[in-house]
Structure 1
Amino acid sequence: MIKILKKLSLLTKWTIGIGLIHILYGYAARIIPINFFWESIYVGFFFLIIGAVSHLVTMIKSRKKNKQNAIGVKIALGFVIFLLATQVFMSFMIPNSEAYSAAKKELSENPLLQKDVGKITGFGFIPIAQLLTTAKDPIDYSGDAYFNIIVKGSKKYVFLSVTMHKNYGEEWKIIEMD
């Protein structure tokens, strides 16, 4: 293990270390509970991906320097960059979706949820989501949405799984919440 760590660049060590610290804190914050920065798990995974990119770039440079084939490492780098780009894209698209806005609105107005968590003060900034829609025409569509959302209340934070549905010509509605 120490042999592997010695081969890593300083940037790679730092990004992986920061990522692991964020992930550990995120899980600890949910278990203890600490009502602060539950999103650190997602930030930690982002740092781990950056660490992987850094390590792969270093490997490519090393292989070129030693006149070795680097095609496998380049393919791995392309795959990791694709994952990173997808994550960044989804981190901006999902919070701005009509379905997520409707989920936040319904959750904010839910008296049972407010009784449990207190006054809702916010939501996690990186929801995990799956959106499936079918368009009838360019304007009207139906679909289902599945979100894992951090709800921040004045008493406590909770991690909710929310299932939503939208029929043609109607608004998004929460149909299940755990």
Structure 2
Amino acid sequence: MSIKQQNELLPQISTTTKSLLIAGGTLLVYDYICRAAKIYFFWESGVIGWYLLLLGAIGLLLNRIDAKSSLKQPAVVEKVAAFGLVFVLAIKLIVFGAFIFSDSFETASTYLKNNERIRNEIGPVSGVILLSEGEVNTTSNSEGEQGEGVLNLVAKGSKEYKQFEIHVVKKREMSAWQVIETKE
């Protein structure tokens, strides 16, 4: 497809798609500015921004599929890419939801809220944000469950916010997850 044909497809991008792309990009820029300037408000913007950009990319591909269909041009690449992005989005949302409701996340959140050193440094923790899914591996058998994991969290203190990498472990003989290491 020539550059002229590509430029003809640009005006056919929907307002919703443009809005998703602009909002996603704006939230990502805001996230980086907040962290650099130590503005302690809405650090979730980066996570939300990435999801909006992903939705915008899906919308862009769907707009291109419609535009190419109206021009009777094949859109196989766009269809495959759109399917791939929808699949990635679905997996990310499922995994993100699973992490939020997991025992390992609950243990790490409780640790951040109750740790005296962290509370002295950033103030009482009012909330914990899961930045990315991290990694948790578990195995179960008749003897019980064991596992280990790494979670990337932000503790929202009254003085400041701080990002932590929390390492958790659960052994078969233990009834609950335990925090074994915290990195800033």
Structure 1-normalised TM-score? 0.91
| More displaced 10-residue stretch of structure 1: 60-69 or 157-166 | 60-69
Q: Gaps (5+ residues) in structure 2?
A: 1-6
The residue aligned with 1:153 is 157
Give 1:141 shift.
1.0
Determine the C-alpha separation between the residues in 2 that align with 1:3 and 1:122: 48
Determine the C-alpha separation between the residues in 2 that align with 1:15 and 1:126: 20
1:44-93 superposed Cα distances (whole Å, 9 cap, x missing partner):
01110111111111111112112222222111001100111112212221
The residue aligned with 1:42 is 47
Amino acid in structure 1 at the alignment position of 2:180:
I
The residue aligned with 1:96 is 101
Is the 1:127–1:150 Cα contact (8 Å) retained in structure 2?
A: no
Determine the C-alpha separation between the residues in 1 that align with 2:9 and 2:99: 37
Give 1:106 shift.
1.6
| More displaced 10-residue stretch of structure 1: 127-136 or 110-119 | 127-136
Q: CA RMSD in A?
A: 1.9
Determine the C-alpha separation between the residues in 2 that align with 1:4 and 1:16: 17
1:10-56 superposed Cα distances (whole Å, 9 cap, x missing partner):
22221111001101111111111111110100100111011111111
**Aligned pair in 2 of structure 1 residues 164, 65: CA closer, same or farther (>3 Å)?**
same
The residue aligned with 1:76 is 81
Is the 1:162–1:177 Cα contact (8 Å) retained in structure 2?
A: yes
2:63 alignment partner, one of 31, 38, 58 = 58
Is the 1:16–1:47 Cα contact (8 Å) retained in structure 2?
A: yes
Q: Gaps (5+ residues) in structure 1?
A: none
2:118 alignment partner, one of 99, 107, 113 = 113
Is the 1:94–1:127 Cα contact (8 Å) retained in structure 2?
A: no
Determine the C-alpha separation between the residues in 2 that align with 1:18 and 1:112: 37
**Aligned pair in 2 of structure 1 residues 110, 97: CA closer, same or farther (>3 Å)?**
same
Is the 2:24–2:53 Cα contact (8 Å) retained in structure 1?
A: yes
Amino acid in structure 1 at the alignment position of 2:149:
A
What are the equivalent positions in structure 2 for 1:131-150 lying under 5 Å apart? 131-137=136-142, 140-150=144-154
Amino acid in structure 2 at the alignment position of 1:90:
V
1:98-120 superposed Cα distances (whole Å, 9 cap, x missing partner):
11111111222211111111111
